[in-house]
Structure formats: C-alpha cells, structure tokens
Amino acid sequence: MATVAGVAVEGGHWIGGERVSSPTTFDDVSPIDEKVIAEISRGGEREARAAVEAAGKAFPSWSRTSREERARLLHAIADGVEKRLDQLAIVETTDNGALLRSHLRGVMPRVAHNFRFFADWLLTLGHEDFETRGHRNHVSWDPAGVCALITPWNAPLMLATWKIAPALAAGNTVVLKPAEWTPLTASLLADITAQAGLPDGVFNVVQGYGAEAGAALVADPGVRRVSFTGSVPTARHISTAAAANLTPLSLELGGKSPLLVFADSDLDLAVDLAVEQYDNAGQVCLSAVRLLVEESVAEEFTARFVAKASALNQGDPRDLATDIGPQIHRRQFERIDGFVQRARAEGATALIGGGPNTDLGGLYYRPTLFTGVAAGSEIVNEEVFGPVLTLQTFRTEEQAVEMANSTRFGLAATLATGSEERAARVSERLVAGTVWVNCFFVRDLKAPFGGSRQSGVGREGGDWSFDFYCDLKNTVTAPWEK
C-alpha cells in the first residue's frame, strides 16, 4: 500500500476479486520530480495465467447475465468514478505528469462517460431481422470470452476504460495490463469495480512489464480478444504471439499526423489548432505534429504561432495555471532530445525550444518548432511523441495532400480551410482514421476510431466495439408449420 497525494493505492495485482502480491516489485516514479511514489508488484507468467484462469472461471456466469444487469453495474462503476474523481485526477497527475486541470475538467469525467455510454449502447444494440426465401435471419452478438487489454501511459485510465467498458458490456471478462510507468489508477479502478458489485474475476489487473506480464497474457490460449494501444514494434510482437492461437486483435498504434493550413482559413483558428498540438507535452498519438502551411500565408502564420506558443506556461502540472508539464520518463525524455539534436545536425532550425527547459530541470522539455526540415527526414517521418512540431510549406492543394500522405502512418489528420468544397475534396483523399475540419479532438463514442496503414488494425466505438468484442452470429430459421 502506498499513499500518493494523500490517496491510498494498492500496489498489488487484482485477480479473482483479491489483492495478490508478487515476490518482486518495481518502482513507480513520478515524472514531476523523478521520485519514487510507490512499489508495484512485478507480475509475469504466473500472475498472467492466474488472472486468465480467474477471468475464464467468471465468464460463463457473466456472459449469461442480462444486458440490463450488466448495464446497471457499468453505471454503478461510473458512479464510483465520479465519487472519487478528485482522487483519481490527482493520483494520475502525480503518476504520469499530465495536467491536473485536464484530468479534473475532461479526462476523468470522460472515464465515467465511457462506462455510461457503453452501458446505454448495449441496451440499443441490435439488427432488424430479415427474410431469405421465407426464412428468418436473426443477428446476435455473443460474448467472445476473456479479453486481454494492454494500455498506454499517456492517458492511462481514460484509454483503459475505452476498452474495458465495451468489453464488459459485451459480456466478456477482462484482464488489464496497464503501462508499467502509470499503474496507479488501474489499481484504484479495481477497488471501484469491487465496490460497485462487479462479480469476482470479471475484471482483473496484472501489473508488470510488457515483455513479462504482457507477453504472457497475449500468448495465453485462454484469451479470446487482445486490444492494444501503443507502439508499432510492440504491436508486431503481440501480433506474432496472438497468431499462434488465432486470437483476434485490435491495435491502435502511432501517428505522425498532419495539420493542413490553407490560405483561405481563419488564421487565428489555425494557429490555435497548431498550438493545441502541444497538449499533454506532445504525448498524444493523435497530435498533428506536421504543420503543412500554404506558402502565401506561411510567414504570417509562423509569426502568430511563435508568439502564442512562446506564451505557454510550462511547469508543475498540479498548478492549474500550467499549460505544459513534464515528459513521462527519463527514457522518453532522452529519446525526444535525440530526435531534436539529430534534426539540428541535419540543418533544421528551431524557431522556439530545441532543448530541455533548464530553468525547471528534470523532465521538462521546451515546446519546439522546426523549420527547414527536409522531406523524408527522420524528424518529418518518425513519431517523436513529445512537444516537437515541424513546419513545411506547400503551393497547391495537390502538393498538400501528397505531403500529408507521405508517411507510413494514417491515424488522424486536421485541416483548416474556409472552403467547404475544398474540405470535402481534401478529406476524401487523406489517409487517416479520423479527419478534423476546422476543429481538433472532437470525439464521439458512437464514431469508429482507429488507424490506417501502420497506425493500427481495426476500429472501435459504438457498434464497432461490440463487433470486435463479440462473436457475431446469424441464426436462420425455416418457416414454422401452423
């Protein structure tokens, strides 16, 4: 048990409705000051197997539980999240360094909404029966079984519950493996599910490293679904392990998304959208980190961007006046700096930032904007996952689209334009799972979400989530004799 920002947090696993410890532990370090805040049980094959067995034991009963009762329990979990919203927010800020104001105002309320949305959507899920030569076709969504969910560190609880809620709603049981850098709110969620009355074994949490606990989970033959959010290299390992059991996968991976700014756009809006890409210290997979600006307005856009971005307040994320906090971990901090220094060596110019914030020290990296970057260079093509943007110019719409689609990724794209016709033309040609026009990060849980190319496999959200977390069945019935 650890006390984090005044909140008691268990460091053990949650398996079959009980706290379970491992012989070894690992340190959980806060990015705010790089101090150890908790010791966490280090799970591996033994704990993963126990969690899958517990989930498998609970599955028959839970899968037969009525939709109405499942929905009631998901709403009860949402109630528990809302009752502890302040605690969840400060613990997650301490654990991953994201802004407390964001956790309070948006992220933790979204956690509760994830459960409520899928609870309600479950009750409307269905397909009209249809006839084939007098025979009735009836489509149903059958629970698939045990789901292994492996989640990232940049928005730990929100992204975990985006998977947990539909998996549970569908009648599956869950084993969650949270990121080892940010395990604390997953542990608190286990307490909340127990207090809400979720039966033992329906929801389980195994802490540990991906190469140990995560690898054991995805290779377990008792797992019938794997959903992963993270990097492309890790996804390749997961895909290989899951292939042995033909386990279906949902993969939401990296991105190198563009923001296209056309000369007919509202430049104030375009600049606001561009500066917003520094959200969460640039640690957002959807971020439009490649600014592609029409040549005729590039100078004015750049001047306005530099002025606005330079005014951002970097500091302690627990301060509600802070705009940018620290990077998540020393390893990630050094990775970001490596990208920046190599870009400099290749001739790129940092108009702002370009290195650590020496005034703050620690893991604080200055918001950076590079110009003079070469097409095809590392800084343009590879995901940095930090507060580093590049700015390139284009002359024609055709060139803009070509530049936007020039990487191996296809997670999202944003465009700013005053022309409805251009917005329609360009959006149709962009390779992306989500396109935002004159806005950013507007997400409805009814919409499909996922990536193209190496940004992922599959879609989740609304019916798409249930399509993944269920086995769809069509029952064909001959006419009954009267």
Instruction: Report the catalytic residues.
Output: 252, 285
172/444 Cα distance (integer angstroms)? 23
Q: Which residue has the tokens 């070894």?
A: 24
Q: Provide the β-strand partners of residue 393.
A: 293
Q: Which residue has the tokens 């590079």?
A: 370
110/119 Cα distance (integer angstroms)? 14
- Of residues 300, 225, 281, 183, the one with CA closest to residue 52: 225
Three-state DSSP at 79 gives helix
308/143 Cα distance (integer angstroms)? 50
Expressed in angstroms, the distance from the first to the final Cα of the chain is 67
Write out the H or E segment, with its range, that includes residue 91.
helix 85-96
Enumerate long-range contacts of 398-405, CB under 8 Å, 24 or more apart.
Answer: 400/260, 400/262, 400/292, 400/294, 400/426, 401/426, 401/429, 401/430, 403/258, 403/290, 403/292, 403/375, 404/258, 404/260, 404/290, 404/292, 404/430, 404/431, 405/429, 405/430, 405/431
